[in-house]
Amino acid sequence: MKACTPSSVLLVCLGNICRSPTAEEVFRQQAAIAGLSIKIDSAGTSDSHVGDKPDPRSQRHAKSHGYTINKLVARQVTANDFRDFDLILAMDSQNLADLQAIKDGIIDTEDDLAKLALFSEEDPTYCGSDVPDPYKGDNDDFEEVIERIESSAQAWIESWKAC
C-alpha cells in the first residue's frame, strides 16, 4: 500500500440508506480488486434512519450490479469517526459542510483528524459534483447513483496507485 493511500475511509450521505451504503460496498470491492487493504465504512449526517437497512430500491439496484448491501445498517457520524478514519468522503456539498461543522466542533489536541473531501473530487468525469440523492427519485436515479459511485471510487483508487 502506498504512503498516500489511507488506511481507512468513511463514506457519508444524509441518511446512510441509499448513497453511502452503496458506496461502501462498491469501494470495498474495488479496493480489494486493486489489492488495497483499507477499512471502509459508511454513515449518515442525520439520525433519521439509524438502525435501518439500506433502502430496498438501493438494495435491488446494487444487487443487479453485483453488490450486496442488505446486511448493512445505517448509523450516524460521530466525533470518534474523525479520529478513527483517515479520510471521510461526503456524497454532496451539504454533507461536506455538515461534516466540516462537526469536525470544527471537536475540541481535540490531536492534529490528525480525518481529512474531508467530496466523493467525486478525484473523478475527472464528475469533477467534484454532488452524487444526487435518489431517495425521492425513480429507477433511473438509483442507476445514475451506482454509475457515479463506481466511477468516483475507481478514480480515488487510481489516484492512490499513482502516488
Q: Which residues are catalytic?
A: 13, 19, 133
All three cell numbers of 32, joined, read 480489494
Please tell me the distance from the alpha carbon of residue 8 to that of residue 145, in angstroms, as a whole number. Answer: 22
Rg, C-alpha atoms of the chain:
15
Q: Please answer whether residues 53 and 20 qualify as being in contact, where contact means their C-beta atoms are separated by less than 8 angstroms.
A: no
Q: How far is CA 18 from the centre of its chain?
A: 10
Please tell me the distance from the alpha carbon of residue 86 to that of residue 113, in angstroms, as a whole number. Answer: 7
Please tell me the distance from the alpha carbon of residue 121 to that of residue 104, in angstroms, as a whole number. Answer: 21
All three cell numbers of 141, joined, read 436515479
